[in-house]
Structure 1
Amino acid sequence: MEISDKAKKSMESLGLTNYEIRVYTALLSTGATTAAEISKRSGVPYSKIYDVLNSLYVRGWTYSDNLRPQNFFPKSPSTAVEAMMVEMENNIRNNRNIIINELMPIYEKTGLKEKPDIWVVSGLYNIAAKVTEIIQSTKEELLIAIPKIPDTVIKSIQPYLRELFEKGVRIIILVSEETSAEIVKAMSRVAEIRLKNSMFGGGVIGDSKQVLILLGEGKNDNNENNNYDIIAIWAEHIGLASFAKDYFKYLWQDGKRIEKYNG
């Protein structure tokens, strides 16, 4: 029985040898037969056939009866693959425990700590540029919480939101109730929208890994009038993004629903 190269490579990726694949596929074509017949059909030398059959049995791909001569049977591919998955998960779990238990104490003695890169971004338009960068790199889900900021800034990101929408990316936006009706209407064409008052800051989360968080205002030392400029932090860190996403969901629950506008 011939199978496609794609199927053969998939079986090899699960750890099956060439002999094991040939024996199993031979069994699939016959349903049940003796070791001698399997050797003949698969081309695996008879001197090797029992070792191969035993290996397939241990891995959950075959079983046999107790008759003489002994007959061997294939298990269904779905059952066999499930058995392999259980075996692989157990191996990964055991190896994980061995590695962590032995190597973590060594790592901890170094005093090193994993530190994600966190960058401070200041200035409304610098932040808008970073937001655009996150939007353009998002492939699956984009979450945005927009406080009261100039409509021109929001309008600047709308073309990029449209591009994501057309690619099938899910977009969820929480905006201040002070945002103009025109902006809300435009964004509702491409995103799920809710309105929320009293948002302390805002942020953007791309694919649950990139996050930009608006912190509020910081002193602008280059401004002679001592005005304050908006600042944010950006990081590509799953843990921080997960924390921010949980907070976003909390705010979203209390937001005022807006019907999607398709016009």
Structure 2
Amino acid sequence: MSGDESDALEAFERLGLTSYEAKVFIGLHRIGSGTARDVARVVDVPRSQVYGVAETLEERGLLEVQQSNPIRYRPVSVDEAREILRDRFETEQERAFEYVENVREEPNGEEEQEDIWTVRGSDRVDDRVVDLLSSADRRIVFGTRLPELLTDDIAATLEERAAAGVDVVGVSGTEGVRDRLGRLEGVDAFAPPTHRQDDDRSGRIAIVDDDAVLLSVVDDDGCETAIWSSGSLFASVLVQLIQVDEKTLLESR
């Protein structure tokens, strides 16, 4: 079996066909039409199994049966098969997600809250930081030592919230990053306390309205991992701990 054929079989299986169904369907397209014996000669499916597989494919609308002796099979066109499988995929997708939505909306009598979430990968951390900053009503503290972690989207969000009246503070031990933060309209930029400037694993910090916090680290391979929490006891306690250092910083304002 060639690599292309193997890939095609796997793709058909992901679309809901069994391995035998995919093989018979492909085999019939290879020969145009034929009996169970003809199909078994070109695909790795026992002749005794071809009959049941063909019956299932007929029920799916993927082949036609000629009531002759012996019975002959002919596949529907590629375009027709593609449309059938697409419709089936969309139908199953709607059925699956409709159920999930119903389950999500139904109260189960228990209150569950995940206080701490983990996000991996800088792109995903970017998105989470922007989401948290966008929700700020009163106050933001954002810091990073790495220029690439102060993205254009984050910078724009900091300026947008500052324009909306939010108190926005930028923190960085890297002069270039601090300068860029300071150039943002409405953002006050500061260096962190001296005892916090030698941390070469830190990524980003974001504190929003004193009840949401995100902290990230960057490993030796450059992969960023963050933990974040919002509206939780964990977030409240962690923000208070961070503010012990922040108080020293803000006293210089």
User: Smaller-chain TM-score range?
Assistant: 0.3 to 0.5
Q: TM-score, normalised by structure 1?
A: 0.46
Instruction: Please report the TM-score for the alignment, with normalisation by the length of structure 2.
Output: 0.47
